[in-house]
Structure 1
Amino acid sequence: MENQTNIHQHDHQFSDAERQAVYKSIYSRRDVRGQFKPDPIPDEVLARILQAAHHAPSVGFMQPWNFLLIKSQQVKQQVHDLFKKANHEAGEMFEQETQRQIYSTLKLEGILESPINLVVTCDRERAGPVVIGRTHDMAMDVYSSVCAVQNLWLAARAEGLGVGWVSIFDRLELKKLLQLPTQVTPVAYLCIGYVEHFFVEPELKTAGWLDRLPLQDLVFFDQWENSHAEHEEKLVKYLSQAAY
């Protein structure tokens, strides 16, 4: 029985190379804005990353997502116009002059440069009014759609594709432009394509906007802001070590 148990557990483990590949995709993923190449994405590659997105977890297995592919330059230009308007408004919202100056230098989208724009949406009525797991938190369908975004992003990185998430829009104007049904909300507007390079560090960190927070300062035990727990010294030590 012990041997059978060990074999069963081993079958569910990744090999060292497989595990390292998963972590490499996670840690080398970047939000891409300005490095897109015009090279087309092969249909089989695009299908693979969409399949990865479709296999994301969803509350109540409701699968609330749709994937709206945009290749038309005319539609991209219309979306870009919405971005420019919202981006100008956003730049005026920062109180500090240094922040406004840094913000004005940042390229925050690759709408026109990327060969494919992809809108991940959430159908708020996909599984009916009462859904397992959403009975007490109606936002769980939106959270599920975000899981699809992350699945796609990591799969794209493994394929050598860059992805950039553009969120600076008036959501209702974007929804109107794309003719989304009333019950469908846009969750993520993604720019996808092959890139000249991936940055080693996130662009906003390099630009001096923010630094990555220390993980050990973000992990609590049992109650909020309780950062000390008996017998957890080893875990806290590991949390302070560098990632992959």
Structure 2
Amino acid sequence: MKITQAERDAVYKTIFNRRDVRAEFEATPIPDDVLKRILTAAHHAPSVGFMQPWDFVIVRSDETKQKLKQGFIQANREAEALFEGERKEQYRSLKLEGIQEAPIGICVTCDRTRTGPLVLGRTANLDMDLYSSVCAVQNLWLAARAENIGVGWVSIIHDHVLHQTLGIPEHIVPIAYLCLGYVSHFHDQPELEKRGWLKRQSLNSLIHEEQWQDKSHK
């Protein structure tokens, strides 16, 4: 089945307008059929050996969100201590999660034992199952954006907090805790770029032909 030009353009529009949402969440609930479409898209991500190692833990309760927020606060204090001077002040000014504001949280996990110890395609690189689960995260994120739903990845939280709070078995690896919800608006560019934390690098400086080239001087 060929993709039409309009469909192609819609895919690129979704990619280029995807944002990490933190402060713009609204209380409007996500309908069950919309959430199911988003999770179905995530479930259709590519996976090594077709092992489909992901699971999705859906969080709705305020009590659970409060526990996760406390985990973020602790990890965020640790992170803040690593920065100095103006960079620390800038870090403090950033809102880096929307755990309690977002109507839904989803923890995407990876079961590295799902199809047994021998997985087609994972023989040379044992981490391919982890990468597969990250592909599910990306599919989820783009599908949500196509539904005009914002997503925020809470990376500043320790795995043991997710294990304990969400009852995740020890052998299951948490890949991402995501906040989902309708938003007041999407930023026209990534917020960290907008706030001057870092700039987007030039694509040409990241492309290498045939062999690696040292482009650090460019």
Alignment gaps of 5+ in structure 1: 1-11, 228-244
The partner residue of 1:188 within 165, 176, 179 is: 176
- Give matches, 1:1-40, under 5 Å: 12-40=1-29
Q: Which residue of 2 aligns with 1:85?
A: 74
Give the secondary-structure state (helix, strand or coil) at the position aligned to 1:189: strand
Q: Which residue of 2 aligns with 1:136?
A: 124
Question: Shift of the alpha carbon at 1:225?
Answer: 1.2
Question: Shift of the alpha carbon at 1:226?
Answer: 6.6
Q: Deviations over 1:139-174 (max 9, x none)?
A: 111100000000010000000000000010111232
Instruction: Give the RMSD, CA atoms, in angstroms.
Output: 1.0
Q: Is the aligned partner of 1:159 residue 2:123?
A: no
Q: Which residue of 1 aligns with 2:65?
A: 76
Q: Which one is further off, 65-74 or 170-179?
A: 170-179
Work out whether residues 33 and 108 of structure 1, in 8 Å CA contact, stay in contact via their aligned partners in 2.
yes
Question: Shift of the alpha carbon at 1:138?
Answer: 1.0
Work out whether residues 68 and 161 of structure 2, in 8 Å CA contact, stay in contact via their aligned partners in 1.
no
1: CA distance between counterparts of 2:24 and 2:155? 18
- Give matches, 1:202-213, under 5 Å: 202-213=190-201
The partner residue of 2:30 within 28, 37, 41 is: 41
Give the secondary-structure state (helix, strand or coil) at the position aligned to 1:225: coil
TM-score normalised per structure 1: 0.86
Q: Which amino acid aligns with 1:188?
A: A
Q: Deviations over 1:200-219 (max 9, x none)?
A: 01000011100000000000
2: CA distance between counterparts of 1:58 and 1:222? 27
Q: Which residue of 2 aligns with 1:61?
A: 50
Q: Deviations over 1:108-165 (max 9, x none)?
A: 0000000000000000101110100111211111100000000010000000000000
Work out whether residues 220 and 226 of structure 1, in 8 Å CA contact, stay in contact via their aligned partners in 2.
no
Q: Which amino acid aligns with 1:59?
A: V
- Structure with the greater relative contact order (CA < 8 A, sep ≥ 6): 1 or 2? 2
Give the secondary-structure state (helix, strand or coil) at the position aligned to 2:105: strand
Q: Which residue of 1 aligns with 2:206?
A: 218
2: CA distance between counterparts of 1:112 and 1:215? 36
Give the secondary-structure state (helix, strand or coil) at the position aligned to 2:169: coil
Q: Which residue of 1 aligns with 2:156?
A: 168
Give the secondary-structure state (helix, strand or coil) at the position aligned to 1:32: coil
Work out whether residues 162 and 192 of structure 1, in 8 Å CA contact, stay in contact via their aligned partners in 2.
yes
1: CA distance between counterparts of 2:159 and 2:171? 13
Q: Which one is further off, 177-186 or 156-165?
A: 177-186
Q: Which amino acid aligns with 2:2?
A: Q
